[in-house]
Structure 1
């Protein structure tokens, strides 16, 4: 276990997503996660900043849920990293890290709606 691997886990991103987010090679990310190499300056701070953004977004969503007082909450899972980017997140994993915070704190029933399966649409 390394500080990098802990932050990566908390962020919700896969190593592939982290490599893209951090503009690093997948091999480097794997080495950082396994503790074979130390990440360069700024990498841990970049993950901390993302985690802070996830926390802030989750808190804003929870405030809105409290204000609107719905009986159920529905979160729309982005189908692809591109869909996640359109929603303001770098990747599906980064969105998931934010959504996990909402699920952990919200005391209302929550549904996570998966996108429609393109194989079953016309």
Structure 2
């Protein structure tokens, strides 16, 4: 059975562990909300809705930046997307966990591929391009 909680957790790309850590509750609590055994507090649902909106906004902004760069510099053969290696790294760039960042990147890839872009996902900082993107983000040039 799907519940509002489980659907929102899925759209946000969260595992049960990540949801429990982000929401600061026990893993058993997340399992009971997911199964519908216990009612999910409205504040929890609102927090997940806010994260889903943030994922959507960041993906839209990232794709807009990709399209702007493609107009200015031509469409690259491949676009490199850097993914955090763990939750601590994801948190250092403003995401609650790797799952949420992954959900955002998945939207970018799905929408970008429909527009003809090709992508490659690599660990953040693994190449010159991801290191440069990390530096730019940390200077506040990129959202999310």
Question: Does TM, normalized by the shorter one, top 0.5?
Answer: yes
Equivalent positions of 1:56-75 (< 5 A) are 56-69=57-70, 70-71=75-76, 72-75=78-81
| Structure-2 residue corresponding to 1:111 | 120
Map residues 1-122 of structure 1 onto 2, 5 A cutoff: 1-69=2-70, 70-71=75-76, 72-107=78-113, 108-114=117-123
User: What are structure 1's unaligned runs of at least 5 residues?
Assistant: 117-122
CA distance in structure 2 between the partners assigned to 1:4 and 1:41 by the alignment: 10
CA RMSD for the aligned pairs?
A: 1.2
- In structure 2, stretches of 5+ residues that fail to align are 127-144
Aligned length: 116
Match of 1:119 in 2: none
SS at match of 2:42: coil
- TM-superposed deviation, 1:61: 0.3
Per-residue deviation, 1:104: 1.1
Question: What is the Cα deviation at residue 100 of structure 1?
Answer: 1.0
Query: Post-superposition shift, 1:114?
Result: 3.1
The secondary structure found in structure 1 opposite 2:120 is strand
What SS does the aligned partner of 1:79 have?
Answer: coil
Q: Report how far residue 41 of structure 1 moved.
A: 2.4
CA distance in 1, matches of 2:35, 2:120: 34
- What TM-score results when the alignment is normalised by the length of structure 1? 0.90
Distance in 2 between the 1:56 and 1:31 partners?
30
